[in-house]
């Protein structure tokens, strides 16, 4: 893999201790590449950053309306959530609406990331359920599509109608043919795309009327607006997606994915951003997306959220500031 | 910073998802560079990988003998430990021997990494003490030198006699002048050195009779052998340093440092290894050191420890293997 440019720096005292290299593509809805760092044609696994694409069949098929899904449900379908009560209660209600339960999910269980929820579970002597999985909202979405289509229970099979619909939507919105996929942490297939393709898709979510037609334009608008309206459902307290969307409050949507992917949907600017840090470090992807949001006028450079992710001191065990994590100058030049 | 070669790869399905670049120097006791990847002249902060250097004044000054320190104490002085009872009980006894207590440490407190110790502390409603800090053994060593020298209480001040002794030892064993330092997570100064200098120092620990004279040769041998004899004290259960040293059981010593530094002391081969992953990811440094130990015949390529760190499957939430982390081929070629 060719070396990408440095997008984030970790300083300790006078020493540049660590760096995070990565690639970025910023596109318009017609696919025009506006800016790039590194190789915009690089094929990546978008991981959870593409959940709004994976949710398109949910809305477009009519399944969301048939089962009375609200903006909250749609935000949760696009979420990598903390497993706090606001997330798991909604997921449980959703499953009940479908006449299904935790055992119908195929995402697997893991302890909730939310500290209070994790402790409460432990204090009750209970094991985590699949609804605690950070991807349970996406899987509720898959199950809703499946209920609508009448497919078999193994909805994460790459050849299942639900995943074939996701694959088709991915190819259409990214304007490219998927040539590879991998199984994600939650067992769903994750379709590989180029950064440029993913950024184009995000630009189309930013300007659905320019990038899409008819039902797709309406579905993209609903999903994007649901995420922007409910940042607390898309991730949770203390998480970058939630903090950045709250700080912007201008319809801009950001979404992270494992191994340091981040996307941005910028309605005012009509731009889509897709970035991947080569080494998979979240601290690097958070710094880079915050810097790019400032660069394009979506986020205030003086906001605490910017400083928290793109320009923050590193304290040691006695709260002495000994270092600094910051986005690379190249993202501001 | 110039891009280093890829030393570890993270695959998911057919996609090379993330990579870890880094630099390596492998030297002999006379400073001869035997092998290198990337820039061996790169200046790094060795972080905790240099604890055996920081402990040289403890032995050389006579402080260790004056206070009756055993091999266990010396291993703990070179440790980044888990804060398990075997570590904290020894640190507490050590402090008592000096007529000191937890409040005399300057490393700061943090919750023990050891799960059982952390839970026990929480169940008793107690807060972590400074002995739980993974660096508390090193700080007990500093306090012992200080008791011997009669310095003031602020032994982590870079101009304190204890730290001046550490700096002098660092320059001598690495054969270079320290031009920068930073404050470490535990508040002690951490002196910047080149990878080549650090690898030379490790080679001298591997062959003290070749690399050092008199008291220093004896001190280096005692510290190295103490680490090799007590791998459980140098880190703890589930940690790479402990697992790799146990798997080798041939006098080879390895020690990690924060932000993905790793060093190796190979007595049989008469070699010292120093490596730093550019992005600071531990999964990368563990893969690289395990591969280099195999390359030089210190570790069996069929050992579970090698596979655990340099060639292991990645499971998802339903225990489906969907990926693979492995050291790059270049480390074996």
- With 90 as the cut, is the pLDDT of residue B168 above it? yes
% helix / strand / coil in chain A, to the nearest 5? Answer: 45, 20, 35
Percent of chain B having pLDDT more than 70?
100
Confidence label for A296 from pLDDT (cuts 50, 70 and 90): very high
Residue A316 pLDDT grade (very low, low, confident, very high; cuts 50, 70, 90): confident
Alpha helices in chain B (DSSP H): 51-54, 56-60, 63-66, 71-77, 85-97, 115-123, 136-149, 161-174, 195-206, 208-211, 214-229, 231-234, 240-248, 282-295, 304-310
pLDDT tens digit sequence for A67-87: 999 999 999 999 999 999 999
Mean pLDDT of B173-180: 97
Q: Minimal Cα–Cα distance from A119 to chain B, Å?
A: 12
- DSSP secondary structure string, A264-329? EEETTTTEEEEEEETT--HHHHHHHHHHHHHHTTSS-TTSHHHHHHHEEEEE-TTS-EEEEEEE-G
**Cα–Cα distance measured from residue A105 to residue A121, given in angstroms and rounded to the nearest whole number:** 19
Which site among A1, A9, A127, A317 would you substitute to test the B interface, given the most B Cβ atoms closer than 10 Å to its Cβ? A317
Contacts A322 to B, Cβ<8 Å:
182-185
Measured in degrees and rounded to the nearest 5, phi and psi for residue A213 equal: -125, 150
The reply to whether residue A181 touches residue B280, judged by beta carbons under 8 angstroms, is no
Which residues of chain A neighbour B107 with C-beta distances below 8 Å? Answer: 317-318
A180 to B13: CB separation less than 8 angstroms, yes or no:
yes
pLDDT reading at B317 higher than 90: no
| Chain B hits for A180, Cβ within 8 Å | 13-15
Bridge partner residues of A272 (DSSP): A27, A265
Shortest distance between the Cα of A250 and any Cα of chain B, in A, equals: 32
pLDDT over threshold 90, residue A34? yes
Greater pLDDT, A61 or B319: A61
Mean pLDDT of A138-164: 98
Q: Above 90 in pLDDT, residue A315?
A: no
Residue B233: pLDDT over 90: yes
CA distance B138 to chain A (A): 15
Question: In terms of C-beta density within 10 A (0-12 exposed, 13-18 middle, 19 or more buried), how is residue B213 classed?
Answer: exposed
pLDDT band at residue B320, thresholds of 50, 70 and 90?
A: confident
For the residues B185-193, what does the mean pLDDT come to?
97
- Parallel, antiparallel or unpaired: strands A261-266 and A271-277: antiparallel
User: Which of A190, A259, A279 to probe by mutation at the B interface, max B CB count within 10 Å?
Assistant: A279
How many residues are given for chain B?
A: 333
Q: What is the pLDDT of residues A5-26, one digit of tens each?
A: 999 999 999 999 999 999 999 9
Q: Do A19 and B279 touch (CB under 8 A)?
A: yes
What's the average model confidence in pLDDT over B25-43?
A: 98
Whether ipTM > 0.85 holds is yes
Tell me if residue B261 falls in helix, strand or coil. Answer: strand
In this prediction, residue A249 carries a pLDDT of: 87
Determine the 3-state secondary structure of B95 from DSSP: helix
**Averaged pLDDT for residues A129-144:** 98
Write out chain A residues lying below 8 Å of B18, CB-based: 259-260, 277-280
CB contact under 8 A, B316 and A187: yes
Give yes or no for a contact between A12 and B45, defined as CB atoms under 8 angstroms apart: yes
- Please tell me the predicted confidence (pLDDT) of residue B218: 98
Query: Which SS3 state, helix, strand or coil, does residue A260 take?
Result: coil
Q: Are B316 and B322 in contact (CB under 8 A)?
A: yes
* Mean pLDDT confidence for A239-244: 98
Mean pLDDT on A109-135 = 95
Q: What is the pLDDT of residues B66-124, one digit of tens each?
A: 999 999 999 999 999 999 999 999 999 999 999 999 999 999 999 999 999 999 999 99
Backbone angles phi, psi at A24, to 5 degrees: -135, 140
A153 lies within 8 A of chain B by CB: no
Mean pLDDT over each residue of chain B, to the nearest integer:
97
Domains of chain B: residue spans and CATH: 6-331 (3.40.710)
Take residue A288 and report the two structure tokens written for it.
Answer: 């880079």
pLDDT range class, residue B187, cuts 50, 70, 90: very high
Name residues whose C-beta falls within 8 Å of residue A178's C-beta, 6 or more positions apart in sequence.
Answer: A167, A170, A171, A191, A192, A193
For chain B, what is the total number of helices (H) and then of strands (E)? 15, 12
- Written as six digits, the tokens of A132 are 């605690």
From B186, B192, B317, residue closest to A186, measured CB to CB = B317
What are the Cα distances from residue A275, in Å, to A3, A146, A246, A287? 15, 31, 21, 11
Is the pTM here over 0.95, yes or no?
yes
In chain A, residues 208-247 whose CB comes closer than 8 Å to chain B: none
User: How many residues can be counted in chain A?
Assistant: 333
Residue B321 neighbours by CB distance under 10 Å = 11
Q: Extract the tokens encoding A89.
A: 């209660």
Distance from CA of A96 to the nearest CA of B (A): 23
Min Cα separation B58/chain A (Å): 24
Tokens 């017609």 locate to: A30
% of chain B exceeding 90 in pLDDT: 96
A319: confidence class by pLDDT, cuts 50, 70, 90: confident
Task: Taking residues B253-273, report their average pLDDT.
Answer: 98
């Amino acid at each position: 893999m060719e070396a990408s440019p440095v997008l984030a720096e970790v300083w300790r005292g006078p020493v540049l201790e660590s760096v995070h290299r990565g690639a970025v593509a910023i596109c318009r809805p017609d696919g025009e590449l506006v800016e790039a760092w590194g190789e915009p044609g690089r094929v990546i696994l978008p991981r959870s950053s593409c959940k709004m694409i994976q949710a398109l069949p949910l809305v477009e098929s009519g399944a969301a309306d048939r089962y009375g899904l609200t903006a909250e449900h749609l935000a949760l379908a696009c979420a990598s959530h903390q497993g706090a009560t606001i997330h798991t209660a909604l997921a449980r209600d959703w499953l009940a609406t479908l006449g299904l339960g935790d055992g119908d999910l195929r995402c697997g269980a893991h302890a909730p990331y939310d500290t209070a929820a994790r402790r409460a579970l432990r204090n009750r002597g209970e094991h985590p359920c699949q609804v605690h999985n950070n991807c349970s909202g996406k899987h509720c979405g898959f199950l809703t599509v499946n209920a609508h289509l009448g497919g078999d229970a193994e909805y994460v099979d790459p050849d299942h109608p639900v995943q074939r619909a996701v694959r088709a939507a991915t190819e259409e919105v990214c304007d490219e043919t998927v040539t590879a996929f991998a199984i994600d942490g939650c067992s769903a297939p994750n379709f590989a795309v180029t950064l440029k393709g993913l950024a184009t898709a995000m630009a189309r979510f930013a300007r659905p009327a320019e990038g899409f037609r008819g039902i797709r334009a309406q579905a993209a608008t609903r999903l994007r607006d649901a995420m922007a309206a409910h940042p607390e459902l898309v991730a949770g307290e203390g998480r970058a997606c939630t903090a950045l969307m709250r700080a912007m409050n201008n319809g801009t949507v950001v979404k992270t994915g494992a191994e340091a992917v981040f996307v941005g949907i910028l309605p005012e600017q009509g731009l889509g951003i897709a970035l991947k840090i080569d080494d998979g470090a979240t601290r690097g992807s958070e710094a880079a997306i915050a810097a790019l949001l400032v660069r394009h006028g979506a986020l205030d450079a003086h906001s605490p959220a910017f400083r928290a992710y793109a320009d923050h001191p590193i304290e040691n065990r006695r709260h002495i500031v000994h270092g600094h994590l910051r986005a690379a100058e190249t993202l501001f030049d």
